[in-house]
Amino acid sequence: MTKGMSGLERLQQAEAAHRPVHRESLLSRFKEGCRRFKAQLPLQGMVLPGIVWLIIFCYVPMYGIIIAFKDFRITEGFFAGPWVGLKHFDAFFSDPFALKAITNTLIISALKLVFGFPAPIIFALLLNEVRSLMFKRVAQTVSYLPFFISWVVMVSLMQTILSLDGPLNSLLMQLGLIHQRISFLAQPELFRAIAVLSDLWKGIGWGSIIYLAAISSIPQDMYESAYMDGANRFQRIIHITIPSIMPTIVILLILSVSGILGSNFEQHFLLGNKMVSETAETIDTYVFRTGIQAGRYSYATAIGLACSIVSFFLLISADRIARLMTKGEKGLF
């Protein structure tokens, strides 16, 4: 019967045969869906609690951002309170303390980028030059140690080392570099240096892991042929190792650049006492103090929102620039 029919006719017939099924398909597909859902109930039961958690702990706060455009009072919910438009954003840009906090954040982040970013790379390059495996492993393990302690402990250690009668003062006195003991943690002009150095001390070992991993995947024969061609050790580092880990460096640099509006909150909050606050206050600590401690919730949310929007665009533009510079090869997304 089907022999004499053209392809088109056959298709039409087939379609017609299926049409009645399609007509009740909505209901039957729904029923079929329910049956499938029931059959995988254990799997859904594993996933759904997580989804509920995400909604409660991630999406409800995202919705709560609307209080940046309202006058929120703690006794009411996110929904209540009158709309006030951009009032809090206007206030933010004319608030001298906020401007100070922005300046401080930018200066500290720039310093951390200039000094803190290359440090793990240099450390990884140095570790890679160590021939004794044992020595390398011990040095590496020791360098991870500060990563595992909290900033609270970190600041306690710093107070011990930097105190008036602490070892650093004694050492500098003995070397004759200073004639009077310095109270390091109470000097606003020293704060930035201390912040950068303590960050570096805490993060250099851990930060080097990713570069060491990148270095270890460089094929050995590249070094061998360079050696044959008479390249010395420094030339091998500069012409083989560094170009090979460039993609990793670029990606981490993009991420760091997008983070320049964020500061290390714990570090600044714990180290920033009243004596040094003129250089220590950053956007993060300012949001915390005005929002959580002074109760200006809407205002602090507005600051947070403004900064995350700027950070998001920084991330995108840093990514674009990296792509342009590497002709589209290296980017985040």
Where in 28-57 is the site for another protein (CB under 8 A)?
33, 36-37, 40, 42-44, 46-47, 49-51, 53-57
Query: What is the maximum span of the chain, computed from C-alpha positions, in angstroms?
Result: 110
Nearer to another protein, 12 or 44 (CB): 44
- Rounded to whole angstroms, the Cα distance separating 146 from 135 reads 19
Binding piece for another protein, criterion CB under 8 A, among 16-24, 89-97, 175-183, 209-217: 209-217
Does residue 158 touch another protein according to CB under 8 A?
yes
**231-290 residues near another protein, rule: CB under 8 A:** 232-233, 265-266, 270, 273-274, 287-288
- Cα 109 to Cα 88, 123, 200, 329, distances in angstroms: 25, 21, 12, 27
173: which 2 tokens?
A: 């006195």
- Rounded to whole angstroms, the Cα distance separating 212 from 318 reads 24
- Rounded to whole angstroms, the Cα distance separating 148 from 142 reads 11
Does residue 224 touch another protein according to CB under 8 A?
yes
259 Cα distance to chain centroid: 6
- Rounded to whole angstroms, the Cα distance separating 156 from 291 reads 27
Binding piece for another protein, criterion CB under 8 A, among 22-30, 101-109, 110-118, 297-305: 297-305
Nearer to another protein, 10 or 29 (CB): 29
Which residues, including other chains, have CB under 8 Å from residue 281's CB and lie 6 or more apart?
97, 100, 101, 104, 268, 272
Nearer to another protein, 50 or 96 (CB): 50
Q: Cβ 190 to another protein, closest distance in Å?
A: 18
The DSSP string of 247-269 is: HHHHHHHHHHHHTTT---HHHHH
**Residue selected from 11, 80, 99, 126 as contacting another protein according to rule CB under 8 A:** 126
Does residue 308 touch another protein according to CB under 8 A?
yes
**Residue selected from 5, 145, 178, 294 as contacting another protein according to rule CB under 8 A:** 145
Residues linked to residue 83 through DSSP beta bridges, in sequence order: 70
**80-119 residues near another protein, rule: CB under 8 A:** none
Among 262, 124, 147, which residue's Cα sits nearest to residue 199?
147
- Rounded to whole angstroms, the Cα distance separating 262 from 269 reads 13
Does residue 313 touch another protein according to CB under 8 A?
no
**Residue selected from 184, 203, 205, 289 as contacting another protein according to rule CB under 8 A:** 205
Nearer to another protein, 111 or 139 (CB): 139
Draw the binding track, 163-202, toward another protein (x: CB under 8 A; -: no contact): --x-x--x------------------------------x-
